Structure 1
Amino acid sequence: MGHRFDLGARRPRAVQATPPLLLLLLLLLPLLVMVLAEGGDYYELLGVNREATTREIRQAFKKLALTMHPDKNPGDASAHDRFLKVNRAYEVLKDEDLRKKYDKYGEKGLDEQQGGRYESWNFYRYDFGIYDDDLEIITLDSGDFEAAVNSGEMWFINFYSPRCSHCHQLAPTWRDFAKEMDGVIRIGAVNCGDNNHLCRRRGINSYPSLYLFKAAQKPEKFHGDRSKDELVRFTMKFITTAVTRLWQGNVFAEVETAFSSGIGWIITFCSDTGDCLEPRTRQKLAGMLDGLVKVGWMDCVTEEQLCLSFQVNGGATALFPPESSLDLQGSVLWLKTLDSKEIYTQVIEHLPDLELLTTHSFQSKLSHHRWLVSFTFGHRSSSNDYKKLQARLRDDHIQVGRVDCLTDSQLCQSLYIQKPCVAVFKGLGIHDFEIHHGKDVLYSIVAFAKDSVGAHVTTLRPDNFPSDRKEPWLVDFFAPVSQRHARVHTHTHTHTHTDVSGEFR
């Protein structure tokens, strides 16, 4: 009686360089040779690759500091000099601006006094990198802080000092809180010892200072008791995504409206027998899946016949994807857990992957619409988090899709896409796009996409390089040896950047 709900690649072609382009390449050649010759030393000293994140660099340095520090090697006359070299490498690579200089120019671009001082062994053992081993806590620095808080996601950030006793006392509670709220909001930490300018700019004058950042709202400071329960209670006040009570008078209209927009429902059925999701868990899920799935609950004591029409006679929870039907076996996903993170994982896995774009559909879809495209090579998107991109970018009218460069190799070759990447197409044709060279994390990609669609920046390739244009162009030549290079925001007639290593091979 159930109601049916509408519930082997070719090499890129050679490009003949025009004289101005050839001259530019000749000028860049010594720079590229210098980077290749010198650029790996600091990375090798720390035992990390050039793609290493700041967290990985800190973790590698801490391991070396605990074994190489002169305090642990009192009989070794060379320990001081050896550790100075390691400390200098860390001081450079942890700093985004210094790291960029080092990657471009080697040691010649650095202050010779950098890294000349270091802390005691006890500092590295007990005070250094407080949250580096906590996967639920994202340590932010000056380079990615703005992208994080402007990404549209909610962030609760702990501004701390490694020399602050209260900060160390809070650390275990902050870890427990982060595990409790993982996936609901982003939990961050900023070391004000390493990011003094950032903290001063944000008006941080005492530690720890806890601020919640929500899109289009003024940051909210936490003033209460620093217990896990109080931190959770404070945070939940800002999770305002609706949880709908469903009953005979609204359920079918609510479900069909969502289905028509391509959005499914999680419904928890509550009765005297069995289990249903408690109110806080429902609210968490609504925040975690905002824009992807609606969350509702049904009282099967007062709506007994309605619950029976859903084939439910006790407490239960289910995901109803768009176009699912109680009459269609297997189309409804019955959830066997009450844990919000486990439900979130199951639901995200069940959601469809990004829309697959092919050679035949690429031109027509991208000619007049903004798109963020994930280029992959024989595998799906690198993270299920990518499935959340459409919801995060909906208000900016940016559609999201993917291209398999093994299946459509000629398409990728025509765009000089030679490795997995994310690119933003600005609705001005398939050749006007910008490649993301930042961190492969959701908040960085979202912030990049929002910024890119309004910026006069495009990726230059041999076939569109403006060598014979009369108007002035500002071109940023760089070799993206890692995913950390940001665009320079300069207002000129036209602002572009050129991926030397990718486009001019």
Structure 2
Amino acid sequence: PGKWLLKPSRKTFMFLFVITWLVVTIHSDEDYYKLLGISREASTREVRQAFKKLALTMHPDKNPNDETAHEKFLKINRAYEVLKDEDLRKKYDKYGEKGLQDDQQGGRYESWNYYRYDFGIYDDDPEVITLDRGDFDAAVNSGEVWFVNFYYPRCSHCHELAPTWREFAKEMDGVVRIGAVNCGDNSRLCRSKGVSSYPSLLVFRAGVKYYGDRSKRSLTQFAMQFVTSKVSELWQGSIQAFASRVGWLITFCCSDSCWNGSVVRVCDVSLQDGLVKVGWIDCTMHTDLCGSFDVTSSTTALFPPDSSLTQEGSVLFLKTLDAREIYLQVLQHMPDLETLTKNSFEDKLAHHRWLVSFVFGGNSAAVHEYKKLGALLRDAHIQVGKVDCLSEAQLCASLYIQKPCVAVFKGLGIHDFEIHHGKDALYNIVAFAKESVSAHVTTLRPENFPRDEKVPWLVDFFAPWCPPCRALLPELRKASIQLHGQMKFGTLDCTIHQGLCSMYNINAYPTTVVFNKSSVHEYEGHHSADGILEFVQDLANPVVVTLTPETFQELVRRRKHAETWVVDFYAPWCGPCQALLPEWRRLARMLSGLINVGTVDCQKHHSFCQSESVRAYPEIRLFPQNRRDQYHDYKGWHRDAHSLKTWALSYLPRASVDLSPEDFRRKVLEGQEHWVLDFYAPWCGPCQHFAPEFEVLARMLKGTVRAGKVDCQAHYQTCQSAGITAYPTVRFYPYLGTTRVSATLPPPPHTHTHTHTHSLLTLIYTHSCFSLSHSRSEDMEVSMLTAVTLLSSLMSSTRDCSSWLSIPNPNLR
């Protein structure tokens, strides 16, 4: 699957040419963006909206007389499945459909009723911000209060809540950010936030979950607890506060019913983010004071900064108590951002961190929102200003600013800055500014593009309209912090610097390249900081052996009897080969010390690959121990590192032994050796998936701890007497010169294994038994490394500890 076939002979050239032409023609017509009727810069939300619109008209349920309806719907469903996923979308944008051969989504779909009533519940509600994996962290870490609804499309309670949540969002607009996360599309995100039931309503910045009833009134009361405010009651003695340099929003109350919850909320809206101070005056007690402002009925007035009590018109009386209207009027009358010019720009930015809004005239609503940035970024010590590129055209041209944007200058002069390419929502800009000043990513231009640098550079060639490009940028910032001092990071906008991108043959976005003196390495991997760190680590210490015909004969053909090799025969132009590369490097790290991993470039060594009967790319072969003349082809569908590892490990000789009930009693319970046992059942899928991992553990402990396996289907009573209640379960039976005793501890909380390593080391010394639960095979793999550490610690301890170590999987009973 997903291979590029080679021509077997000259005789069939024309036939294959016709077939290939037909395939290319068919695939070229299947433009996923055109199928959904969207542009290449469409957001995930726009992808969902376009698909839903098509689904409601093209669904086979609505077209029972159309024999092609099923096939047509599969095409748009496939397009949706790819374009909604950042990783798959990047592969498609770069390699087309040939890069998706290992990802076969889109083969099934839901009923018409699902798309009509359950799909994208909040996609058409502007007040409810739909958050995905790519923008969730930026939103909730912006400093604003977020109230987020984690829902599942098929959840009836979620649909019952939806009308109330929409009304609640309108009510709270401008006060608290109201969000929604579809846990059907973002299951990993929801799990990471501890969401296990739907709907789950969580407030972020406070980290509080809502458990009350789901009426709009109750939701509002709950959310308002987290809006920080300090409303002051004013009187004659504090009247001079109005004339201070601080803006005030004052409510004059001329009746007992004036000062109610609604007014409190209005005041909180205006006070939010330190925009103005809020106060109120009881006009029933201070009639003279209210009379001096000609107030005869309850009203709200804005005293802008530096307003004068004696100057007519300096106080603005607002003719509404609507929260949103008051909020917008307050914004309009707040001082504008500091204007920077060509003369002041360099001096201002020389030694201080600035967020600069580049505008081209105009006075949009977004510009008014930006007035809040000064207060939001004050704690981060970031100053805020703006440059009008219509009046400062030369300055903007020197920085290649061609349209309105926001940039962060990092206090190192005017050339070290980063442009924001995400949403222009305030919360996104705040999160970007805080990330950018602590990261080390620079926006590149021809003047500062790395050439013959002594320090390695990682350069991301991208286009702002490309969603996978935008998703990668925050990960670059994280990686730049980890690699600071070892590597520099820069981004180049190929829509502006087309000539520079063409010079480096950039024809897909994003393309990430490491320049290390004369060496150039293109990054092929997951769009994550961890993936980038692994790639850089592999460049410094390669784990994959690059084989030539000569080294292949020496290292693989004439390998030692105890050596095993897996080799990838590939061609650089082959899409599936390129998609395999990051997984191949990851596989090499997983198999380090067990199996050697290599590659052969069949474009460079074409004759050699032909002599080895390589007929398609990528061709994956395993060369086993003790059989120099044999190899095994990989015939599996999935080419991810875990699947390949399971396949490769299955060819290693077993390091563990099978135990009968008599063996268990005589060798383990009564013997004088350390034993680690895997209790399993043949019908258990996770047991089969875990079996190679256990062999890794057995090999790592060989000579120190013996490894055995007990079949709990064949030897049920033995497992029952040992207290085995889940499969697979791994137990450690140390021999410490005492009788072995089984005892049980409650399992620790369900958090990632890495966080438990140190606590486990403590537990092993203070308790007679340790139990750790896992529900995913990846976690189980990590637990093996933890187990080795624990076993070594326990065996080196002089304490008289009669115990076993148990690592069960609680999901199988």
Sequence identity, in percent? Answer: 67
User: Scaled by the length of structure 1, what TM-score is found?
Assistant: 0.86
Deviation (angstroms), 1:120? 1.0
Structure 1 residue aligned with 2:260: 278
Distance 1:434 1:99, change over 3 A: same
* Deviations 1:390-415, CA, capped at 9 Å, x for gaps: 22111111112222222211111111
Which stretch shifts more, 346-355 or 314-323? 346-355
Contact 1:282 1:295 in 2 (8 A): no
1:235 and 2:254 matched: no
Structure 2 residue aligned with 1:4: none
Deviation (angstroms), 1:327? 2.5
Match of 2:186 among 179, 195, 201: 195
Match of 1:413 among 378, 391, 397: 397
1:404 and 2:418 matched: no
> Residue 221 of structure 1: SS of its match in structure 2?
strand
1:147 and 2:123 matched: no
Which stretch shifts more, 336-345 or 46-55? 46-55
Deviation (angstroms), 1:51? 3.0
Structure 2 residue aligned with 1:24: none
Match of 1:65 among 55, 58, 72: 55
Structure 2 residue aligned with 1:78: 68
Bigger RCO of structures 1 and 2 (CA < 8 A, at least 6 apart): 1
Which stretch shifts more, 184-193 or 73-82? 73-82
Match of 2:298 among 315, 325, 342: 315
> Residue 357 of structure 2: SS of its match in structure 1?
strand
> Residue 338 of structure 1: SS of its match in structure 2?
coil
Contact 2:416 2:443 in 1 (8 A): yes
Contact 1:65 1:124 in 2 (8 A): yes
Return the alpha-carbon distance in structure 1 between the equivalents of residues 327 and 45 of structure 2. Answer: 26
1:343-492, aligned counterparts within 5 Å?
343-380=326-363, 383=366, 384-482=368-466, 484-487=470-473, 488=476, 489-490=478-479, 491-492=482-483
Deviation (angstroms), 1:305? 2.1
Contact 1:241 1:283 in 2 (8 A): no
Return the alpha-carbon distance in structure 1 between the equivalents of residues 95 and 339 of structure 2. Answer: 40
Amino acid across the alignment from 1:86 = I
Contact 2:231 2:267 in 1 (8 A): no
1:200-239, aligned counterparts within 5 Å?
200-214=191-205, 217=206, 219-239=207-227
Structure 2 unaligned runs (5+)? 1-26, 500-813
Return the alpha-carbon distance in structure 1 between the equivalents of residues 413 and 381 of structure 2. Answer: 16
* Deviations 1:272-300, CA, capped at 9 Å, x for gaps: 49x85634433443245421111110011
Return the alpha-carbon distance in structure 2 between the equivalents of residues 442 and 39 of structure 1. Answer: 40
* Deviations 1:418-448, CA, capped at 9 Å, x for gaps: 2222111111101100011111211111111
1:105-120, aligned counterparts within 5 Å?
105-110=95-100, 111-120=102-111
1:49 and 2:45 matched: no
Contact 1:39 1:103 in 2 (8 A): no
Contact 1:269 1:298 in 2 (8 A): yes
Return the alpha-carbon distance in structure 2 between the equivalents of residues 500 and 267 of structure 1. Answer: 51
Return the alpha-carbon distance in structure 2 between the equivalents of residues 480 and 346 of structure 1. Answer: 33
Contact 1:462 1:504 in 2 (8 A): no
Deviation (angstroms), 1:343? 1.0
Structure 1 residue aligned with 2:89: 99
Contact 2:358 2:387 in 1 (8 A): yes
> Residue 362 of structure 2: SS of its match in structure 1?
coil
Structure 1 residue aligned with 2:664: none
Deviation (angstroms), 1:155? 0.5
Structure 2 residue aligned with 1:9: none
1:244 and 2:232 matched: yes
Contact 2:389 2:395 in 1 (8 A): yes
Structure 1 residue aligned with 2:555: none
Larger Rg: 2
Distance 1:81 1:441, change over 3 A: same
Return the alpha-carbon distance in structure 1 between the equivalents of residues 236 and 365 of structure 2. Answer: 42
Structure 1 residue aligned with 2:495: 501
* Deviations 1:235-273, CA, capped at 9 Å, x for gaps: 122223111111123332x335xx43xx31110111249
* Deviations 1:192-220, CA, capped at 9 Å, x for gaps: 01100001111111111111112xx4x10
> Residue 486 of structure 1: SS of its match in structure 2?
helix
Return the alpha-carbon distance in structure 2 between the equivalents of residues 321 and 67 of structure 1. Answer: 54
Return the alpha-carbon distance in structure 2 between the equivalents of residues 445 and 113 of structure 1. Answer: 36
* Deviations 1:60-114, CA, capped at 9 Å, x for gaps: 1111000011111111122222212211221222223333333344334334513
Contact 2:86 2:471 in 1 (8 A): no
* Deviations 1:112-148, CA, capped at 9 Å, x for gaps: 5132221111100110011112111111111111111
Distance 1:278 1:342, change over 3 A: farther
Distance 1:249 1:486, change over 3 A: farther
Deviation (angstroms), 1:40? 10
Deviation (angstroms), 1:482? 3.8
Structure 1 residue aligned with 2:14: none
Distance 1:222 1:55, change over 3 A: same
Contact 2:443 2:490 in 1 (8 A): yes
Return the alpha-carbon distance in structure 1 between the equivalents of residues 34 and 267 of structure 2. Answer: 43
Deviation (angstroms), 1:48? 2.0
Distance 1:179 1:240, change over 3 A: same
Structure 2 residue aligned with 1:15: none
Return the alpha-carbon distance in structure 2 between the equivalents of residues 454 and 322 of structure 1. Answer: 32
Amino acid across the alignment from 1:486 = L
Stretches (4+) displaced over 6 A: 37-40
Deviation (angstroms), 1:164? 0.7
Structure 2 residue aligned with 1:34: none
Structure 2 residue aligned with 1:5: none
How many matched pairs? Answer: 460
Structure 1 unaligned runs (5+)? 1-36
Distance 1:38 1:466, change over 3 A: farther
Distance 1:314 1:122, change over 3 A: closer
Contact 1:239 1:284 in 2 (8 A): no
